[in-house]
Chain A
Amino acid sequence: MAITTVPGTTRPGRSATPYAAGPRRTSLGRKVRDNLTGHAFLIGAVLCFAVFSWYPMIRGVVMSFQRTRRGETTWVGWDNYARILDDPSFWTAWKNTLYFTALALVLGYAVPFFVAILLNEFRHAKGYLRILVYLPVMLPPASALFLFKYYAYDPSEAGLFNAVLAALHLPTSEWMQSPGMTMPAMVLASTWMNMGSAVLIYLAALQNIPGELYEAAELDGAGIWRRIVNVTIPQTRLILLLLAMLQIVATMQLFIEPLILANGAGAEDSATSVAYLIYQHGFFQNDLNGAAALGVIMLVVLAGFSAVYARLTSKQD
């Protein structure tokens, strides 16, 4: 057996490896064997993807057009969708979810970026500050949320937040028990728990910005704010766009916050999310098919959003 390929010569930009089963001057039998080897290494992961990811995807769509009753499954066309769309809770849930997403975008998206810019300027206590910011990310969400539920958002003045507000002579709040505060309170908890990873990712991005750009901007007389707008943001644009997208997709799946903080639907349904509705249909109301339809609707909405988003952001180039 001879190694005939020289790395870097077979395909532009991608070197063939000694084992690669791709186009090479070898015998057919050899090729088949190499391919088999390659697939033998792949098979475990592929099976897991097939069974737990690809198949359920299709299954979800199929289920949304079926109804199982008395152990018998029948095709019901668009019935599940009609039923779901007719349910006023559906619209409440979407309204709440979008509200959460928007609030989280304001708080959970902008704040980490500016925190990262700030941290990036410090020459001291860097490691300490990073650890602090990331620490809540490592808590199991259930643990962190019980802390918020019982200690921070206590509606009386025995609660942490109300005690602080009262000490500052500010009006206190009933937090989760006040329909208007439900969402802001959930966003606050969620941001506290999750912002660490965004901060770290931004920090890494900021460190890749060539220092000369700032220098040049400064020579042009640009102040700090102008430098952020003209250098920092354009230089981190890709990562900013990517994280915005990831965050929107993540926040649209809001579930554990309402479940633990609001005991489900919250005051006057102010916490019901689409994901919580899926859970209610699937596991409380004996309606897995309706839950599947809800899932498909969510997928369509998110896919549509991603497509539009990708379109918009790429056009700007």
Chain B
Amino acid sequence: MSVPQYRKTAALALVAGLGLSLTACSTKSDDATSDAGGKVTITVDCQPVGSQKDLLQNWNDDVAEFQRQNPNIVVKSVSVGEQCNNPPDFTARLAGGTVTDLFYGYMTDLQQVLDSGQAMDITEFANKETIPTWDSVDPALKEVFTEDGKLYAVPTKNYSMGLLYNKTLFQQAGLDPNNPPKTWPEVREAAKKISALGNGIAGYAEYSAGNTGGWHFTALLYSQGGQVLTEDGKKADFNNAMGRQVLQNLKDMRYGDNSMGSRQLLQWADLLTNAAAGKVGMFIGAPDATTAIVTQFQGKYQDWAMAPMPGQDGPAKGTLGGGEGYFFKKGLSKEQVEAGLKWLAYEKLTPGKGQFDYVRAKPQNQPVGLPQPTLFSVGSDAQKQEVELRKANANLPVENFTAFEATPVPIKGEPRNAQAIYAVLDAAMSGVLTNPNANIDELLKTAEGKVNQLLAAEG
């Protein structure tokens, strides 16, 4: 082999190597938007994962049926994991621009989505034409996804928290499952009796890690009538009697009564796993926590009932509410946005279809009869229809949730900059749950200082 020849070979090898890498990468960028044969293609995330067999089957059936009804639309589903919005992955997809055309997000994600520059203004497209039930959708929910008069997402779920309790354990502990605790002192009494069953059962369980501790601190604080930030959102507002009461209640249960189990530093799925295994008497959560317990954690929905959020000495003064929706990726064509809205209307916003297809869910042993998601305004046509269908197909004793439904508690949303604040409040929660000598005043003072500094720095 002569020298020039060799050089050619080397160059070829290099070019081949690099070229290979380039072509391999570039195939990713252009698969979604092509409209072959006049068809509109949209990609949608949050497809259920393989282990959620029924849910996945339902989703796929819905896609097939939707495409049959709309032959010019192709829906490509993408699964992004068990938790559709896992912050680091969500951040990665947003920053990397790899979000799907329609992408799932929480109500609190609006700021981050706007910051990433990936959000599309869909104000002019979201209407009765694309979503037949649009006028029935609770305006407050639309408002959450609106900034400066522009709508960026379609709300698809809305929840508020209450007290979930295990009826079977209530019975075993000699408590009346039809008369759940209404106040925190009553919760404490019940927790004591349930944990006396032994077997590693926690009477009441609570989060304290991975930012979920701060999340539930917020919910508990709302029940006391408190708020995390002052009205103007510039200062922390939890270092007061109400914040102290929240932590005191937990400390009393954890170390006074030893009724919260020995394993702490729980995160979202840890608690639900324990609950599904019948190891948790009570915890606070939204009604759809039972859905997760059943579909993801192999628990039984028959065990679970829900009471309104307890308050300190009467009904709760407030409860944490939140929800989710689908954002639209910037740069979609008009046709794609319309197709996307149609799909959301079909899958998420039509009584009797998609997530409201109770006839289908009932025999699959998914909980039917849960009082939420409350997407539609009370008294609207869609709401009446949905309630009727739900009642007709309920497989859970509806009375399990009547108390929750009959006692509306004022709903409060999450504070701004929620994740950063929750990270700070985790420490206060883990303090009272892991340290028998925790100084509550000190914990709150530290957290207050941190949150104030964080807010000041944000400006």
Q: Do chains A and B touch in the complex (CB under 8 A)?
A: yes
In the complex, B287 has a CB within 8 A of chain A: no
| Interface: A112 (CB within 8 A) | no
In the complex formed, the residue of B with least CB distance to A41 is B10
Contacts of A72 in B (CB 8 A): 117
B262 touching A155, Cβ below 8 Å:
yes
Question: In the docked arrangement, what's the CA distance between A238 and B453, Å?
Answer: 45
Distance of B208 from chain A, by nearest CB (Å): 8
Pick from A68, A176, A177, A283: contact of B88, CB below 8 A: A283
- Give every chain A residue within 8 A of B394 (Cβ-Cβ): none
A70 touches B456 (CB 8 A): no
Interface positions, chain A 225-251, Cβ under 8 Å from B, are none
B423 near A265 with CB under 8 A, answer yes
A87 to B449, CA, bound (A): 9
* A27 contacts B by Cβ under 8 Å: no
In the complex, chain B residues whose CB is within 8 Å of the CB of A88: 446, 449-450, 453
Within 8 A of A (CB), among B75-122: 87-88, 91-92, 95, 111-112, 114-118
Q: Is A179 an interface residue (CB 8 A)?
A: yes
**B211 contacts partner chain A, Cβ-Cβ < 8 Å:** yes
Structural contact, B14 and A178, CB atoms closer than 8 A: no
Q: Please, how many angstroms separate the alpha-carbon atoms of A266 and B430 in the complex?
A: 7
Chain A residues bordering chain B, tally (CB within 8 A) = 43
Check if B397 is an interface residue, CB within 8 A of chain A. Answer: no
Q: Which residues of A contact B228 (CB under 8 A)?
A: none
Q: How far is the CA of A266 from the CA of B420 in the complex (A)?
A: 16
CA distance A136 to B322 in the complex (A): 44
Taking CB atoms, residues of chain A closer than 8 Å to B118 are 71
From A54-62, A101-109, A213-221, A284-292, give the one contacting chain B: A284-292
For window 82-110 of chain A, which residues contact chain B by CB distance below 8 Å?
A: 82-83, 86-89
Interface centre among B18, B112, B446, B457 (most CB of A within 10 A): B457
A257–chain B nearest beta-carbon distance, Å:
14
A156 to B200, CA, bound (A): 10
- A184 adjacent to chain B (CB < 8 Å): no
B453 touches A283 (CB 8 A): no
Given contacts A37-B7, A269-B427, whether A87 and B457 have CB atoms under 8 Å apart is yes
Residues facing B in A142-197 (CB within 8 A) are 154-156, 174, 176-179
The yes or no answer to A43 lying at the interface (CB within 8 A) is yes
Q: Does A65 contact B (CB under 8 A)?
A: no
Tell me if B302 counts as interface (CB < 8 A to partner A): no
A264 close to B (CB within 8 Å): yes
Verify if B263 is at the interface (C-beta below 8 Å from A): yes
B424 at the interface (CB under 8 A from A): yes
Q: Is B210 an interface residue (CB 8 A)?
A: yes
**A284–B88 alpha-carbon span in the complex (Å):** 6
Q: How far is the CB of A259 from chain B (nearest CB, A)?
A: 9
Q: Contacts A44-B17, A262-B265; is A178 near B111 (CB within 8 Å)?
A: no
Contact at B14–A283, with CB atoms within 8 Å? Answer: no
Q: Is the CB of B434 within 8 A of A179?
A: yes
A19 to chain B: closest CB distance in Å? 11
Q: In the complex, which of the residues B115, B200, B266 contacts A69, with contact meaning CB atoms closer than 8 Å?
A: B115
B14/A43 in contact, CB under 8 A:
yes
Answer yes or no: A306 CB below 8 A from chain B CBs.
no
The answer to whether residues A283 and B450 also contact, given A179-B434, A263-B210 and a CB cut-off of 8 A, is: no
Q: Are A267 and B430 neighbours in the complex by a CB distance under 8 Å?
A: yes
Q: Which residue of B lies closest to A283 (CB)?
A: B88
Beyond A82-B457, A88-B450, A262-B265, whether A284 also contacts B419 by CB under 8 A is: yes
Whether A70 contacts B264 by the Cβ 8 Å rule is: no
State whether B209 touches A265 (Cβ < 8 A): yes
CA distance in complex: A265, B427 (Å): 8
Q: In the complex the two chains form, is A284's CB within 8 Å of B435's CB?
A: no
Q: Which residue of chain B lies nearest to A83 when distances are taken between CB atoms in the complex?
A: B457
Distance (whole angstroms) from the CB of B84 to the closest CB of chain A:
16
Q: Which of A40, A83, A86 contacts B14 (CB 8 A)?
A: A40
CA distance A33 to B117 in the complex (A): 48
Near B by CB (< 8 A), chain A positions 11-58 give 33, 36-37, 40-41, 43-44, 47
User: 5 tightest CB-CB pairs across the interface, nearest first?
Assistant: A71-B117, A263-B209, A283-B88, A83-B457, A267-B434
A87-B453, A179-B434, A263-B265 known; 19 other A-B pairs, CB under 8 Å? A44-B14, A44-B17, A70-B115, A71-B116, A83-B457, A83-B458, A86-B456, A89-B423, A89-B450, A155-B263, A265-B426, A265-B430, A266-B265, A266-B430, A267-B265, A268-B434, A269-B430, A282-B91, A283-B92
Complex A-B: 10 CB contacts under 8 Å: A41-B10, A44-B14, A156-B200, A176-B265, A265-B423, A269-B430, A283-B87, A284-B91, A285-B417, A286-B111
